[in-house]
C-alpha cells in the first residue's frame, strides 16, 4: 500500500498528494509519470510526477477532479493509501544545457512542468516560466515555480492576476524583449499545447509538449493512448509522454479525448445520482 503522507488543497478542485513510494522515487526523473488506483475497483489513472524526494522515498502528484475516479483521489486524506502506484513510466525529459528555455504550464500542467524546470535550471539553462490559468483562484504552485526559475510570467484569461491573456501572450512578451529562446516545454490542456505549437512553428523554436491521453496498461499493449506524431502512430505511455509539438496531430488527439470524456461524464453522472438517492 502507498500511503499519503501530505495533502494540500491547491485550488477548489485541485489537490496535491505526497505519497510514500520509495521504489518509484528511487528512479523517478523529470517528465515521467505514474499510474495509480485508489482502490481495487478504481480505474487506472496516469498522472505526471510533480516532484520526487529520494531521501524521503516519496512522489508528489497533483490531480484535478474531472470524474468519478479523480474525485475519489481528491478526497483522500493523510494516512489513506493507494492500492496501486506504478512507475516511473514513460521517457524522461532530455535535460541538457540548451541556453534560454521557456517552461510553460497551463492549469494543472504547472505541476508536471515543475521538475522539468528544476532539471533544466540545474543543467545551466536560463529558465523563464510562463504560468497560465483561467483565473487567479486556479493558479497553482507559483512559489514552487519561482524557486526553480530565473523569471516567472503569469497570465490569466480574465486578467485577475498577472498579464491578461493566454500563455502565447507570455511568449510574445519574452520575444518582444529581444530574448532568443532556444527551446520550449509546454504542458497543459491539449488546446493550449496546440496553440503554443502553432505559435512557435513559424518561428522555428524547438517545442516539446507532454501528452496525457487515456491509458489502460501503461506498457503499450492496449493501444488506448495512441497518437499521430509526424504521420506515425506513437504510444504516449512508452514513446512519450513528451513529443515534438510541431509534429503532434492535436485535432485527432482532441477528438479521441472528447470521446472518452463523454463516456466518463455519463458514468460519473450516474454515480452522483445514485449517491444522492442514498444520501451520500
Give 102-111 pLDDT, tens digit per residue. 999 999 999 9
Residue 266 clears pLDDT 50, i.e. is over it: no
User: What is the pLDDT at residue 264?
Assistant: 43
Calculate what percentage of the chain has a pLDDT beyond 90: 71
Q: Domain spans of the chain?
A: 2-89, 100-210, 213-239+247-252
* Burial profile 253-265: b = 16 or more Cβ within 10 angstroms, e = fewer: bbebbeeeeeebe
Q: How confident is the model at residue 4 (pLDDT cuts 50, 70, 90)?
A: very high
Q: Give the three cell numbers for residue 255.
A: 477528438
CATH classification code of 100-210 = 3.40.50.80
Q: Which residue has the cell 484535478?
A: 64
Domain 100-210 in the same topology as domain 2-89: no
Q: Which CATH number, 3.90.190.10, 3.40.50.2300, 1.10.8.60, 2.40.30.10, labels domain 2-89?
A: 2.40.30.10
Q: Are 25 and 58 in contact (CB under 8 A)?
A: yes
Residue 267 clears pLDDT 90, i.e. is over it: no
User: What is the pLDDT at residue 256?
Assistant: 79
pTM (two decimals): 0.86
Give 228-264 pLDDT, tens digit per residue. 999 999 988 888 899 999 999 989 988 877 765 544 4
**What sign does the CA torsion over 69, 52, 20, 35 have?**
positive
* Rounded (5°) CA angle 99-102-107: 160
Give 15-51 pLDDT, tens digit per residue. 999 999 999 999 999 999 999 989 888 888 888 899 9
Cα separation, 248 vs 132, whole angstroms: 21
Amino acid at each position: 500500500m502507498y500511503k499519503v503522507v501530505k495533502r494540500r488543497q491547491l485550488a477548489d478542485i485541485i489537490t496535491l498528494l505526497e505519497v510514500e513510494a520509495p521504489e518509484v522515487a528511487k528512479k523517478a526523473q523529470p517528465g515521467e509519470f505514474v499510474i495509480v488506483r485508489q482502490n481495487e475497483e478504481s480505474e487506472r489513472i496516469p498522472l505526471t510526477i510533480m516532484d520526487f524526494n529520494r531521501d524521503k522515498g516519496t512522489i508528489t502528484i497533483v490531480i484535478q477532479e474531472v470524474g468519478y475516479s479523480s474525485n475519489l483521489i481528491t478526497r483522500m486524506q493523510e494516512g489513506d493509501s493507494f492500492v496501486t502506484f506504478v512507475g516511473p513510466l514513460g521517457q524522461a525529459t532530455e535535460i541538457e544545457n540548451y541556453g534560454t528555455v521557456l517552461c510553460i504550464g497551463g492549469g494543472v500542467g504547472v505541476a508536471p512542468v515543475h521538475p522539468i524546470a528544476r532539471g533544466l535550471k540545474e543543467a545551466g539553462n536560463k529558465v523563464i516560466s510562463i504560468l497560465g490559468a483561467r483565473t487567479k483562484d486556479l493558479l497553482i504552485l507559483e512559489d514552487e515555480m519561482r524557486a526553480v526559475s530565473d523569471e516567472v510570467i503569469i497570465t490569466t484569461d480574465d486578467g485577475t492576476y498577472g498579464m491578461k491573456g493566454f500563455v502565447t501572450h507570455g511568449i510574445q512578451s519574452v520575444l518582444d524583449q529581444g530574448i532568443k529562446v532556444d527551446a520550449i516545454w509546454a504542458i497543459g490542456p491539449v488546446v493550449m499545447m496546440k496553440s503554443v505549437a502553432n505559435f512557435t512553428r513559424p518561428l522555428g523554436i524547438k517545442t516539446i509538449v507532454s501528452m496525457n491521453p487515456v491509458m489502460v496498461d501503461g506498457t503499450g499493449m492496449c493501444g488506448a493512448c495512441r497518437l499521430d506524431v509526424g504521420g506515425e502512430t506513437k504510444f504516449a505511455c512508452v514513446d512519450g509522454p513528451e513529443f515534438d509539438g510541431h509534429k503532434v496531430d492535436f485535432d485527432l488527439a482532441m477528438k479521441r479525448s472528447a470521446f472518452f470524456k463523454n463516456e466518463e461524464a455519463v458514468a460519473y453522472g450516474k454515480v452522483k445520482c445514485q449517491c444522492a438517492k442514498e444520501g451520500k
